[in-house]
Chain A
Amino acid sequence: DAMVIQNPRYQVTQFGKPVTLSCSQTLNHNVMYWYQQKSSQAPKLLFHYYDKDFNNEADTPDNFQSRRPNTSFCFLDIRSPGLGDAAMYLCATRSRGSGTDTQYFGPGTRLTVL
């Protein structure tokens, strides 16, 4: 089945220690999004890719970076995680030109910062 996969599902890191989260998709969607979601809150968009074109949200901290080496994969790098970065990180995809804004979410990576 076509799907959005995130690895790892759970990540524990130390304060200031870089961490990379990964997302892969078999939907062949050209748009990919990274969201941060904290407890009892709505997902907050960090950035998105339309193909290889990168678009950063204005309020996304510089501590967060992203890479998309090909259509299927996208990575979220947190250069120096702080305690406030502990959250669920969600990857989502969408097919631009499909006539719908529907997004397909991966299962998420729950990040703990010690």
Chain B
Amino acid sequence: GQQVMQIPQYQHVQEGEDFTTYCNSSTTLSNIQWYKQRPGGHPVFLIQLVKSGEVKKQKRLTFQFGEAKKNSSLHITATQTTDVGTYFCAGPRSAAGGTSYGKLTFGQGTILTVHP
């Protein structure tokens, strides 16, 4: 079945350092989404990438979708303590017959800790 792998599982950084998490799918994706979950909170949608090679920026966050549409990355420049949380990538679940009702396959998440 479809698998979405995410690395690293944990990342500890000093405030001000950069951070990157990588996402790899076993299948080609029509799009990839990124969610952030603060400790004790719920996943919050950050962004969706659709096009091959697409790069999008949100302030200090840079999201990239690979040319083959099977991998993606999230890079945070100069981390702040407010960046703490778990970052999940998610891709549409592939289904026989093409109907998946928008179900997502989540990566395992990267837990980011930022030390002040």
Contact = CB atoms under 8 A, between A and B. Distances in A.
Interface of A: 31, 33, 40-43, 45, 48, 50, 55, 88, 90, 94, 96, 100-108
Given A101-B48, A102-B33, A108-B42, A42 B107 contact: yes
Interface residues of B, number: 21
A101 B31 contact: yes
A108 B92 CA distance: 22
Interface string B7-49: 0000000000000000000000001010100000111110010
Contacts of A45: 103-104
Interface string B101-116: 1111011110100000
A107 B43 contact: no
Contacts of A107: 41-42
B111 A102 contact: no
